[in-house]
Each structure stands twice: as C-alpha cells, then as structure tokens.
Amino acid sequence: MLSFPNAKINLGLHVLRKREDGFHDIETLIHPIRMHDSLEMIPSDGEIILKQYGPALPVGENIVMKAYKLLKKDFNIPAVDIHLLKHIPSGAGLGGGSSDAAHSLVMLNDLFNLDISPAELEILAAELGSDC
C-alpha cells in the first residue's frame, strides 16, 4: 500500500485559552501544498522494519513507528515493512511528521481491515501528537 502524506502551511492562527494539559486551544486555517513524503507499507512475516530515506531520524523516535506501535498494542497487528521517503523538511512547520502519522494510521486500518471509524482514528492520532 502506497500513500503520499502532504505538507501544509498555516494561513492563519488564533491562540485561544490555555488548557489544563498545558496546550492551547487554537483556531487555524491550513492549506495543503504540493510537497509530500512517500509512505509504503507491506505486510511482513518477520519483524517490523522501517527504512527511511532522506533526512534521517532514529527509528525509535519516528512518529510512523509510534503509530504502528499504538495499533500493535490495541489490535495486535502483524509486522510490516515500512518505506518512508522524506521530502518534507523536519522541523519546518509544514506538518510532515503529523501527516506521516495520520496516513500511517489510515493505511494500517485499511491494510489489516481493522474497521476503526474516522472518529476513533482522530482519538488515536491525538495520542501521537496534538496536530495529527
């Protein structure tokens, strides 16, 4: 299964109240842009493997791996080979990691027929980060 998580830019941001968890409620207007990563997931008989191309992050810290581990914990999904080609620069405020994480959850849901609703996927995404 192949997907192309896209980058986004914030066209407007209004910071509202500070929440008890330390984050702020916000109103924002975002727009997807043509820049994207490439994300492929293939079922595997062995252990999970993440191959990342482009600017590298340690595998244990990659949000795609965190998304896999989250669904593995709750749904005991089998291993996959993951190929992530990064085009969206890390730390540039373009939402690359968040987009990768959201696409990972949707792809794993589809790949293994987990029947997770969109509302439940949003809850799972929030566990990975506030902007997933």
Q: Which of these is catalytic: 8, 37, 86, 100? A: 8
| Residue 51 identity (one-letter amino acid) | K
CB 13 within 8 A of CB 26: yes
Q: Which of these is catalytic: 66, 69, 81, 131? A: 131
CB 80 within 8 A of CB 90: no
CB 12 within 8 A of CB 31: no
| Phi and psi, residue 46, nearest 5° | -100, -145
CB 48 within 8 A of CB 80: yes
131 is catalytic: yes
8 is catalytic: yes
By annotation, the residues acting in catalysis are: 8, 131
